[in-house]
Amino acid sequence: MKLWVKMIRFIGGLCLVTILGIAYITYRCHNSLCLASERFSLSPKYSISSSSSSSRSEIPSSPTSTVKLMGGLASTVNIESVAFEEAYDMGFDITNRDVIVFLHIQKTGGTTFGRHLVRDLNLENPCNCPRKRKRCDCFRPNTINEQWLFSRYSTGWKCGLHADWTELTDCVEGALDEYEGSSRKRSLIDTYLRYFFITVLRDPIHRYLSEFRHVQRGATWKSARHWCGGQEFTSLPHCYKGSNWTGVELDEFMNCSYNLAHNRQTRMLADLTLAGCYTGYNTTADQLQRDRILLQSAKQNLASMAYFGLTEEQAVSQYIFERTFQLDFANPFDQANATLSAQAIAELTSVQIERVRQLNSLDKELLEFARQLLQQRFRLLKRRDPHFRRNWLRVIHPHKSERSDGNSLV
C-alpha cells in the first residue's frame, strides 16, 4: 500500500513539475521572441531566397562592414526573387515571366513613383490607363491578362493596403493567380515567375512628420491586414478613439507606444516572423533584441531587392532604375525641395525634433545603410555605362539632352 502511495506521489510530482515548466516557458515566450531565437542563425544568405550568385566580387549587395558585423537571418520565404546583381546582368524580361513587385511604404513618395511606373515608362506596349479609373492594365505583350507589374496602380491592393515585405512575400503568387484567373500551379520550371522587389525610402524625420500630418487630416489605414505567420492580426490597438485621429497634436501622436508610424520603414521591410509578428509589439520586454532582429532583417531584405530609390535622391534613383531594368522613363523624377514635412519641422521645438529622432532610430540607421548601398550601385552602373554622360544628362536635363541628341544627328 505504501508503495502505491509513493508511486502516486511521484507521478503527481512529475505532473506538477511539467505544468510549472510549461507555465514558465509560456511566460518567458510571451512576446514570441523564443521563435526568433530558434530561427536566428549566422548565415551569409539573405532573408529571401534569391536566384543570383553571391560570388560576384564587383557587384556589391550591401556595405561590407554591415555584412561582417550583422551576419544573417534565416527565413522560410520560398519565392524566387531577383537581386540587384542578377537584374543588372540579365535584365527584366517583360515578355516572359518577370514581375516587378512594388512595396509601397506610406509617405515616401511612393504614390508619385507608382504613377511613373504605369504612365511614364517607354514601352512598346505601355500600360493602358483608362480615364476615370484609378488602375491601369499593365499586361505583357500579346497577352490579355498577365500583369508584369504588381502595384497599387496596376493590380490594386491585392495583398492588403500598403502590404509590407512579410505580407507580399506570402501573398503575391496566389494574388497574381487569382487576378489572372489562372488555375495553373506553377510546378514546372518554365512556369515559375521571377519577382523583382522594389521600394522607395525617405528621410525618417520627414517621412514621420508627413505621416503625422496625414493622420491629423483624418487618414487611418485601418483596413490594412497586418498578415503575418499565417494569420491576420485584427486586434492591434488603436491610438485613437472613434473613427480616426483628426486634429491630433504631435506630442500625443508621439506618446502612443503602439503607433505603427514609429520606425515604419524598418518594420515594413523586415521579416516580422523572425520577431514573433505583432505579438507583444512595442512592449518593453526584450525590445532591444526585437529591434536588432528587425533592423538586421530590413537591411538584408533591402540589399536583396532588385531596386530601391531614395526620395531625397531622385536623379540617382531614376538612373539606377533605368540602367538596372533597361527601361527608360519619358518624364524625369522631380526633386521636391519644399514639402509639408519641412514646414512641420520648422514649427517644432528642439525637444520635439529629438523625440522624433529617438522614435525613428531604427529607420535612421536603415537609411544610412540605404544611402551607402545606393551610392555603391550608382558608382558601379556609372563605371559600366559606356554612354553615362548622355544617359545622366537625359535624367537631369531631359530637354537639353533631347536637343543635344537632335543636333548630333544632323
E strand or H helix at 49: strand 48-50
What does the DSSP assignment read for 356-373? HHHHTHHHHHHHHHHHHH
Q: State how far the alpha carbon of 284 is from the alpha carbons of 31, 270, 289, 331, in Å.
A: 10, 20, 10, 47
Distance between CA atoms of 49 and 52, rounded to whole angstroms? 9
What one-character DSSP code corresponds to residue 121?
Answer: B
Q: State how far the alpha carbon of 372 is from the alpha carbons of 101, 334, 367, 396, 401, in Å.
A: 23, 22, 9, 21, 28
Q: Is 226 a known active-site residue?
A: no
Burial status of residue 190 (CB atoms within 10 A of its CB: 0-12, 13-18, 19 or more) = exposed
* Residues facing 194 on adjacent strands: 98
Angle at 372 between CA 60 and CA 44, to 5 degrees: 45
User: C-alpha grid cell for residue 233?
Assistant: 492580426
DSSP3 helix / strand / coil % (the chain, rounded to 5): 50, 10, 40
User: C-alpha grid cell for residue 336?
Assistant: 521636391
| CB neighbour burial string for 238-264, b if at least 16 within 10 angstroms, e if fewer | ebbeeebbeebebeebbebeebbbbbb
Q: Is 110 in contact with 200 (CB distance < 8 Å)?
A: yes
What one-character DSSP code corresponds to residue 128?
Answer: B
E strand or H helix at 292: helix 287-304
What one-character DSSP code corresponds to residue 397?
Answer: S
* Residues facing 139 on adjacent strands: 147
Distance between CA atoms of 323 and 85, rounded to whole angstroms? 12
Q: Which of 104, 116, 162, 262 is catalytic?
A: 162
Distance between CA atoms of 177 and 194, rounded to whole angstroms? 14
Catalytic positions:
162
